[in-house]
Amino acid sequence: MAKLYFKYGVMGSSKSAQALMCKYNYEQKNYKVLLIKPATDNRNDSKNNTFVRSGIGLKAPCFAFPLNLNLYNYIVDQIQMHGYNVVIVDEAQFCTAKQIEELKEISRQIPVLCYGLKNNFKSLLFEGSKRLIEIADSLTEIKSVCACGRKADANARYINGKIVTDGQEVVIGGNEMYESMCYNCWLDKQKKQ
Q: Active-site residues: which are they?
A: 91
Q: How far apart are CA 37 and CA 89, in angstroms?
A: 5
In terms of DSSP bridges, do strands 178-181 and 154-159 run parallel, antiparallel, or are they unpaired? antiparallel
SS3 per-residue string spanning 1-22: CCCEEEEEECCCCCHHHHHHHH
What do you get for the CA distance between the two ends of the chain, in Å? Answer: 50
